[in-house]
Structure 1
Amino acid sequence: MKLREELPVDHHLATVYRYGAAFCGLVLLTFAGLGFADALSPFDTSGDTIAGMTTNVALSVISAVVGCALLVGAVIGGNFASALNMTIGGLFVLSGFAHTFVLDRPANILDFGMTNVIFSYVMGLLIATFGMYGRVSSRLPHDNPYWRRRHAGRTAGETKAPALPGAEPRALARGEGRGPRDGRGALR
């Protein structure tokens, strides 16, 4: 089974994946553009502050590449955008963890500060949430393609309790059923 077969092209979830990727990509491109505008040195660990976060050219390049990737995902849309959002969101969260440990150390070549780490966590969770929307939940509606994929043998009508053979649905609700009865009208 291919990923494209799992979600119809015109499904409303594809719009969420598309707009989420586009929004986050534009935020990252804006941050990268502001970093390039200051003409910073590539690995300067005492770089300038832009939008409350420290940056250098290397971080601006990475932000531009990831922002462009998200915009490409927004153009393609569908399951590709969803998978891309979840992957990039996870990488942002991992980056936040990794940079938490290299703050104020020589290994901090991207000049991350605490605000960068918090931004990485928040942006990662936001991007991942856009990717997981409608895919990961315990209460997906039965017309959701991901619910149908997980419950391939069941349909929306089959999720109800199966009726006993020969029993009326209302009679079952009252605890009654058809069958042999004794002299007082109770089931034997």
Structure 2
Amino acid sequence: MATHTLHPGAKGRGRHIRLDEELPVDHRLSKVYRAGAGLMGLVLLAFGVLGLIDKVGFFDTRGDTVAGLNTNGALSVLSIAVGLLLFAGMVIGGNTASTLNMVLGAAFVLSGFVNLALLDSRYNFLAFRIQNVLFSFVVGVLLMAFGMYGRVSGGLPHDNPYWKARHPDQARPIPRVGRAQHPGRAR
């Protein structure tokens, strides 16, 4: 289960959870993190492969279109690399997939802002257009949502491992009740 670390000099002020704590192997949140990484990885991998098949120049900025988005060889290779990284996160699962989703999601949102500023400049090496910027924002927000799901919220349920890690004094093991003994069921 989760371990807790107190920051030096923070006697009793509060406990802090580290992002690299492990979930139980079979925890249902891991499925969400894996699904998000796999889905977004598949989309990026497909976009990158279609861009390479189209034989666009590596730093060509004239704006060849693949699947409604502008691309060039550099953007295609970058999309394939990030897609494979997300697939690796999907295979690993757990907090690794969650953290990877959050970090790459933030990177996509940041990339959207940077490329928005570079749209009509000579520094637009990835051949971004406004539809690419919007795609970057959407993928970034989706990745962050998948990564933060069940991990960042003010109303986490009391059986959530992150809630338990943040409130160890209030978290107690939930007794397993058999079907016949469940209070809400008829005997």
TM range, smaller chain: 0.7 to 0.9
Question: Is 1:112 matched with 2:112?
Answer: no
Which residue does the alignment assign to 2:106? 90
Residue 136 of structure 1 and its aligned partner are, at CA, apart by: 0.9
Question: Is 1:143 matched with 2:159?
Answer: yes
Which residue does the alignment assign to 1:31? 47
Which residue does the alignment assign to 1:179? none
Gaps of 5+ in 2: 4-17, 174-187
Which residue does the alignment assign to 2:11? none
Question: Is 1:22 matched with 2:38?
Answer: yes
Determine if contact 1:142/1:156 at 8 Å carries over to the other structure.
no
Determine if contact 2:19/2:99 at 8 Å carries over to the other structure.
no
Residue 3 of structure 1 and its aligned partner are, at CA, apart by: 5.6
Residue 52 of structure 1 and its aligned partner are, at CA, apart by: 1.2
Determine if contact 2:86/2:100 at 8 Å carries over to the other structure.
yes
Determine if contact 1:99/1:112 at 8 Å carries over to the other structure.
yes
Which residue does the alignment assign to 2:146? 130
CA distance in 2, matches of 1:65, 1:96: 18
Moved more, 14-23 or 147-156: 147-156
CA RMSD, aligned part only? 1.5
Residue 29 of structure 1 and its aligned partner are, at CA, apart by: 0.3
Which residue does the alignment assign to 2:90? 74
Q: Which amino acid aligns with 1:15?
A: K
Determine if contact 2:106/2:140 at 8 Å carries over to the other structure.
yes
Q: Which amino acid aligns with 1:109?
A: F
Determine if contact 1:70/1:84 at 8 Å carries over to the other structure.
yes
Gaps of 5+ in 1: 158-188
Q: Which amino acid aligns with 1:66?
A: V
Which protein is richer in helix relative to its size? 1
User: Deviation per CA, 1:143-165, whole angstroms, max 9, x where unpaired?
Assistant: 001111111222269xxxxxxxx
Which residue does the alignment assign to 1:56? 72
Where do 4+ consecutive residues of structure 1 move more than 2 Å?
Answer: 1-6
Residue aligned with 2:42, SS = helix
Per the normalisation by structure 1, the TM-score is 0.80
Determine if contact 2:22/2:94 at 8 Å carries over to the other structure.
no
Q: Which amino acid aligns with 1:52?
A: G
Q: Which amino acid aligns with 2:139?
A: M
Question: Is 1:99 matched with 2:79?
Answer: no
Q: Which has the larger radius of gyration?
A: 1
Per the normalisation by structure 2, the TM-score is 0.80
